[in-house]
Structure 1
Amino acid sequence: MPKIDLIAGTRPNFVKIASLINAIESSDKSFEYRLVHTGQHYDASLSESFFKDLELPEPDFNFGIGSGSQAEQTAGIMLNYEKLLRKNLPDLCLVVGDVNSTMACAITAKKMGVKVAHVEGGIRSNDLKMPEEINRIVTDSIADYFFTTTTSASRNLVNSGHSQESIFFVGNTMIDTLKRFENKFRRPGIWSELSLRPQEYFVLTMHRPANVDEKETLKSFLTEIINHSEDKKIIFPIHPRTSKTLDLDEIINSNLHIIPPLGYLDFNYLVKNSLGVITDSGGITEETTAMNVPCITLRDNTERPETVEIGTNDLIGTNPKNIAPAIKKILTNNWKKGQLPDKWDGKSGERIISILQEILVE
């Protein structure tokens, strides 16, 4: 029976992989799979909560790579995956997203003669200062099959010289998982602690190096957000990278509530019921579009333009002075009405597995 490796290393990866595993388990199981966790996100308690929340099986392999520089993580993942492949080659290596694990396993598999499929292929920010953009370009340059979230991503691949026959527009696996678990979202503890009410607070997330690594830059963002959110509470599940920079003594405000990172079901409950989200994440802009929640993105570019052109996201750049007018639009109920992009219907994983079944029996 054909066998594929499903590669995941970070929490967003698990959300995408959950869709695929659910589709495999619901199919006639014409191929086997190994779930390979590189351990790139190394918070054990949070990783465990994601596996439980998303009803994922225990990984067949966990490399436990942990923190380190870009080169250290990439090299560690490649060395571990190569050892695994030397013992047992799959028929296909399937990678998702754009993290170091994606690129590292794609390169390793390809050099070992294993074909590579890339879920979320073709998306581009056209900003080579982003490590993720480099990972995308490298992975797409060597992959054999591409599963795209939008027709614009498919077009990017064609323009890069890939054949139409290798590109499959299937939709967004992140949205599969969101739709599947939406009725299981749960109130986090902070809800009752702060007596939160629907549409009466903002959710804030920040983790990109350009936004959080310099103390004064981060402080200026937070000051603008606090000063222009009126009496609305701001719930800030803080990323480990951000917490290293933030001096809590300098950002004291009764409306800003900094909390530890949340599990998938808890976090999305907060997002779904919020007045709006302020973020520099790409994946969250997809989820807010799917849930029709206003989203302000603190970036100069995005690899997910459909969330701006069709969805509820507004890309306001990285000038903190742009924050006030954006928040005002939300507070005065003047935010744009979003729509769901084509094929973001909860069936992307099913489409991918159906295509893989055909590929693997060729």
Structure 2
Amino acid sequence: MNNGGWRVSVPVPRDMVKIVGKTRLKRSLETHSQAEAERRKHAVVAEFLAMIEAARAGRLPKAVVTGIAAVPSMSSKELTSLALDLRASLQSQEGGTEAVELETDGIYQVADKIRGQEVGVDEETDSPIFDRQSEEKAGQFLRVALGKETPVREPLDLFHAQVKWSPRTKSDSSRAITSLEDWCKENRVPFVIEAITRRRAGQFIGDLAASTERPLTNRTINKYLSCLSQFWFWLEKRGYVELDSSPWSRQSLPKVQPTEDEKERPFTDEEMIKLFAGEPNQSYLKDVMLIGALTGARIDAIVSLKRKDITDSGSFRFKPQKREKASRQVPIHSGLKSIIERLVEGKRPEDVDSH
């Protein structure tokens, strides 16, 4: 017994370990009652022994071995990971062979375990009734394992590794994906590539633009849409979706033009307190904000600072801006000294200080 309750553990014969891929077959019985565990264990032991004999006869699908521990209580994340492993195994088999049939049958067997035991019978149809949540999990598992659905995040790391984007743009892309995921949860839309239709993409954009909880400018939303559009274009090239099927094409919001009487103004005290009380998504932004507030320098001049621009006399040497003909030195405010010490530690003269 472990913290999750009683479980069955059956040793695999030494000559079968290489074929089965495990030294022991284990599965939770999903109960803390010893009496109930005694009742449930016999069917599981019999199943494990049958699996070992099937392996000996060369008819044990990898799906069955991989899914031994699958139970209805597994989280959606765990089931998705398992389904993706089994899909990779299925897709590695040569089409039309007995191996494909075995692996597919094994995936259905795992889905049956995830669905669990029936909890009743429909009197009208005489068909079994299963726990609704477990049945939903089993259905989602099947769709992913059989390649009918792909979780949006599954190819995202590979996309970010291959695309030539700056860290800042990749961060924008991650925020766009998170916003889409949050929207899908709120609207009970499966967070899979196939579920993001053009209509849903439009609803997502409209809800982002109308949100008062965390208002975003049209410029920020368009930046998110650009990231999502390029991600879907990559998905097209890699065969995840059909060509020219991106739901994000021509979905941008109009640029907001400033009014004629709109003028630049300083931040109010309330706005400054709100800005510095929050925690930005990129930790380095807080440093940039503080340097800007205590020097008056433009953001381009701040992010361009190098180690050599921190002078021995305790000043910043900012590069020329706009009509300036030469660099200018600004004394480092006492409130910035600890930040600058941290930023320059271990840096070479040409290293950028503000990142």
What TM-score, normalized by structure 2, do the two folds share? 0.25
* More strand per residue: 1
Larger Rg computed on CA atoms: 2
What TM-score, normalized by structure 1, do the two folds share? 0.24
* More helix per residue: 2
